Amino acid sequence: MSRSIATNASAFTSRPHFRLRLASLYRSRQLQSWLSTLVLLLAWHLASTSGYLNARTLPGPLQVLETALDLTLSGALFEALAVSTARVLAGSIMGILVGLSLGLIAGFSRLGEAVVDKPLQMLRTIPFTALVPLLILWFGIDETPKVLLVALGVLIPLYVNTFRGIRNVDIKLIEVARVARMSRLGIATRVLLPAALPTILIGLRFALGLGWIAVIVAETVGANSGIGFLLNNARQYVRTDVMLVCVSLYAILGLVTDYAVSRLEKVLLSWRVVYTG
């Protein structure tokens, strides 16, 4: 009986389609992209269980996972997540609308560039931590300064990429459009915007990542709710496990946001054939 089972298993694994499936799984880019993360987690776990790492300074991944489960069951993690996500969502919508609009104005018009570009380039060099005290002084400690800081974090890179994306369009494309007697509106909508779209989407990807960084700064400096507040509270009580949960959650949220924008890129840029390595 056991011999027949072994024979059947051998026959199954020797089938060409099974071997091809294993090979494709091994070569899968998604699997390869997570391999280094899994290796780091394994090394962290081994260092923790062997006693090489101090559990108070850097608890192991299993302890961090247990803490995350406790915070989830108590409702504290979901509450903080909902507050931070709402802030990032509100600030991102505001930043996208303003950044995209200003980028289009500066990109399509020399007068727009003269009016808009210099102030935004100066604002781009100011760190978030320098803006927080001013925003709190001007708008108080409620939601407004936090949402505005996220909006600024999203606005600047999206503006820069939109502006540069339009200005870096090959002049030959515009000359061909003019020969074809396209109107200025037609050139803008059918030549400049499609050609600049890849650069704009890269800016959006970078901008939304900065939005999460901005909300971290805002919540750790002046907030009584959110993931940053939970992180700051854990720091005061030397709860490294809670701090690692918060940091991991920020990382996961950043990855989810980046994945969403990458899917949007594939939909909007389905016509483009690019080098993939």
pLDDT, tens digit, 9 for 90 and up, residues 53-70? 777 888 888 989 999 999
Closest by CA position to 272, among listed 194, 158, 206: 194
Name the pTM for this structure: 0.81
Mean pLDDT of 61-81: 91
Long-range CB contacts (within 8 A, 24+) of 96-100: 96/154, 96/155, 96/158, 96/204, 96/207, 98/151, 98/155, 99/154, 99/155, 99/156, 99/157, 99/158, 99/159, 99/162, 99/207, 100/158, 100/159, 100/162, 100/200
**Would you say the C-alpha torsion 51, 55, 56, 58 has a positive or negative sign?**
positive
Residue 224, Cα to own-chain centre: how many angstroms? 24
At residue 30, the pLDDT reads 65
What's the token pair of residue 95? Answer: 């930043």
CATH number for the domain whose boundaries are 71-268? 1.10.3720.10
Query: What average pLDDT is seen over the chain?
Result: 85
What is the domain partition of the chain in residue ranges? 71-268
pLDDT per residue as tens digits for the range 106-157: 999 999 999 999 999 998 888 888 888 888 889 888 889 999 999 999 999 9
8 A C-beta contact, residue 244 and residue 56: no
Rounded Cα distance between 101 and 184, Å, is 18
Q: What is the pLDDT of residue 49?
A: 84
**CB-based burial label for 237 (10 Å; 0-12, 13-18, 19+):** exposed
What is the Cα–Cα distance from 173 to 171, expressed in whole angstroms? 5
